[in-house]
Structure 1
Amino acid sequence: MRPLWRCRNCGAEWPCQPARLALLAEYRHDRTALLLFLGALMTEASGQLHQLHPDRRLDLTERFMSWARAR
């Protein structure tokens, strides 16, 4: 749900755990493409969330990127 960046199914911050699992499965053979996709979405989310909360400093790296890095 944009611009709130919450899951339509569970209401948690997106990407929620089910979304993360689905993305990992979808991009299982191309982790670089997943990270590029998430980076683009993080940039979009940052702009939209900043408009909603201009007084808050948002660091979305953990939420969007850190979990998707190869272990």
Structure 2
Amino acid sequence: MSMHLPVRPAWTCAGCGQAWPCLTRKRQLLAEFAGARVSLMLYLSRFFVAACVDMPATTSGTLYRRFFTWPYEPSDGRHSSESAPPGR
């Protein structure tokens, strides 16, 4: 069982303290749902809805990017801003 679970209502990772899903959890989810991206997106939608309820001051676009864009990035689940050197 993953220790990288969401801590609500802040939606931080219980394992590393980063915004959830953290890089480790993203990698785990990509492995768990390999070849089943639609299932992964349905799984993430459950968390997206809960995060929208828990964080009403956060824009839906921000949460959308946080939960739904990383599985389609050509990397290991890391957002481009996470992999870019500081200052970019």
TM-score, normalisation: structure 2: 0.68
Unaligned runs of 5+ in 1: 51-55
Q: State the percentage of identical aligned residues.
A: 33
Q: Report which structure shows greater RCO (CA 8 Å, sep ≥6).
A: 1
Partner of 1:6: 12
Deviations 1:35-65 (A, max 9, x none): 1111121011110112xxxxx3422011100
Structure (1 or 2) with the greater strand fraction? 2
**Superposition RMSD in Å:** 1.4
Please tell me the residue identity of whatever aligns with 2:72: R
Partner of 2:69: 66
How many residue pairs match? The answer is 66
In structure 2, what is the Cα distance between the partners aligned to 1:9 and 1:19?
A: 9
4+ residue runs of structure 1 moved beyond 6 angstroms? none
